């Protein structure tokens, strides 16, 4: 059982989380410099080499090559094979991959957020804080060859520079409310469109090992390695939108007889107007139902944490992760003692339990198995009771 490697607040330091969320999140980019060894427990070149040796997990969709602003076609570096599910897939020919890398191509590994302990911890840290699914992509490039031209992302992006240096160009242009929706991703627009939409250069900066760059969704940018070899990871936070909510709502509408009713004939103009008003009224009723709000939160919770699971085999007990809702909680000193406050009420902290509270509040998430191991001198029923009490006041939430 491993502990969280680095907390969100440690990544931001010396900036506070409050400053980030009030001044930068979804608003403007920020470049945060850090010590060169900052990510040594998160990811390394050796981790990358070990991943590439796991040859059977990669396909043309998860391993990509690009050079001079052009992504390679699968046929240029792959062959037709079978996946681990015994389905036809384009699999990388690693001899050709290495040759393209020697010729200056950049390497991109997608969907890497659960492949090493460090990346898994990073994923779960950001999922617990943002309550949204994240995707981690690994990039390595060489010799000032640009992989991708200026573009925007539909996600909020955090870039972690692992090794080498990379020059980033942040442009003034920004796609309004960029979102993952049909016809709205960066690939749905032409190169000419992006060249015009990116606008003037806002900032050129050099990312060095230990640096973090935050880019709000829709912000135009491009990057190029400025040293012999550059390695960085990109963490994308996928926040859901009103479009996703409407799709969720639409999946339930066939249960309502009104939405199964045939539309009025094409020439029945008055009928169209009347039907539209009936639909509008019924939608108002549906949206006013408190169960819809509960279902929306359930949908968001499920999507945010669907990639999180904990095991403690050979024990088959209930191993579970909890996110710590530290942004809206804290310890208050009262005349009668210390009280842990949350939206669900207050909880007096018994003498001797302060260290358990402090341990939890230092984290973004933790496992009940690890919690029990750290405080192994406490009886199991006391541990379970404390976790239940913390959930009741809203300090923690099962992921």
What does the pLDDT look like over 187-197, one tens digit per residue?
899 999 999 99
Whether 115 has a pLDDT exceeding 90, the answer reads: yes
226 pLDDT higher than 90: no
Q: What is the pLDDT of residue 2?
A: 63
| 251-263: pLDDT as tens digits | 889 999 999 999 8
Q: Which residue has the higher pLDDT, 342 or 367?
A: 367
SS (H, E, C) the chain: CCCCCCCHHHHHCCCCHHHHHHHHCCCCCEEECCCCCCCCCCCCHHHHHHHHHCHHHCCCCCEEEEECCEECCHHHCEEEEECCCCCEEEEECHHHHHHHHHCCCEEEECCCCCCCHHHHHHHHHHHHHHCCCEEEEEEEEECCCCCCCCECCCCEEEEEEEECCEEEEEEEEECCCCCCCCCCCHHHCCHHHHHHHCCCEEEEEEECCCCEEEECCCEEEEEEECCCEEEEEEEEECCCCHHHHHHHHHCCHHHCHHHHCCCCCCCCHHHHHHHHHHHHHHHHHHHCCHHHHHHHHHHHHHHHHCCCCCCECCECCCCCEEEECHHHCEEEEECCEEEEEECCEEEECCCCCHHHHHHHHCCCEEEHHHHHHHCCCCCHHHHHHHHHHHHHCCCEEEC
Tell me: the pLDDT tens digits for 289-308? 888 888 888 988 999 899 88
Give the per-residue pLDDT at 1: 47
Check pLDDT > 80 for residue 35: yes
What confidence category does residue 131 fall into, taking pLDDT thresholds of 50, 70 and 90?
Answer: very high
What would the pLDDT profile of 41-84 be if each residue is shown by its tens digit?
Answer: 999 999 999 999 999 999 999 999 999 888 999 999 999 998 88
| pLDDT, mean of residues 76-98 | 93
């Amino acid at each position: 059982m491993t502990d969280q490697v680095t907390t969100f607040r440690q990544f931001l330091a010396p900036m506070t989380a409050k400053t980030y969320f009030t001044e930068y999140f979804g608003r403007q980019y920020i470049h945060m410099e850090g010590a060169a060894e900052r990510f040594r427990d998160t990811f390394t070149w050796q981790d990358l080499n070990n991943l590439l040796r796991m040859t059977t997990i990669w396909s043309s969709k998860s391993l990509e090559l690009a050079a001079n602003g052009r992504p390679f076609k699968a046929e240029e570096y792959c062959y037709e094979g079978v996946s681990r599910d015994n389905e036809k897939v384009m699999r990388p020919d690693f001899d050709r991959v290495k040759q393209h890398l020697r010729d200056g191509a950049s390497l991109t590994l997608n969907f890497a957020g659960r492949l090493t302990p460090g990346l898994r911890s990073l994923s779960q840290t950001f999922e617990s804080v943002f309550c949204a699914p994240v995707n981690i992509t690994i990039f390595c490039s060489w010799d000032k060859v640009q992989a991708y031209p200026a573009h925007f992302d539909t996600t909020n992006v955090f870039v972690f520079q692992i090794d080498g240096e990379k020059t980033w160009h942040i442009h003034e242009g920004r796609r309004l409310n960029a979102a993952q929706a049909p016809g709205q991703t960066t690939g749905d627009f032409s190169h000419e469109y992006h060249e015009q939409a990116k606008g003037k250069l806002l900032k050129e900066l050099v990312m060095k090992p230990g640096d973090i760059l935050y880019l709000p969704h829709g912000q135009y940018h491009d990057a190029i390695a400025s040293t012999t070899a550059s390695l960085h990871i990109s963490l994308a936070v996928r926040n859901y939108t009103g479009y996703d909510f409407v799709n969720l709502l639409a999946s339930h509408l066939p249960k309502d007889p009104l939405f199964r009713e045939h539309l009025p004939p094409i020439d029945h103009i008055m009928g169209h107007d009347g039907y539209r008003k009936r639909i509008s009224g019924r939608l108002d009723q549906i949206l006013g139902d408190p169960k819809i709000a509960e279902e929306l939160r359930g949908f968001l919770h499920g999507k945010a944490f669907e990639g999180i699971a904990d095991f403690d085999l050979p024990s088959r007990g209930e191993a579970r992760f909890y996110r710590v809702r530290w942004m809206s909680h804290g310890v208050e000193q009262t005349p009668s003692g210390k009280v842990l406050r949350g939206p669900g009420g207050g909880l007096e902290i018994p003498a001797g339990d302060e260290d358990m509270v402090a341990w939890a509040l230092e984290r973004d998430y933790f496992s009940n198995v690890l919690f029990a191991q750290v405080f192994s001198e406490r009886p199991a029923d006391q541990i379970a009771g404390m976790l239940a009490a913390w959930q009741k006041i809203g300090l923690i939430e099962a992921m």
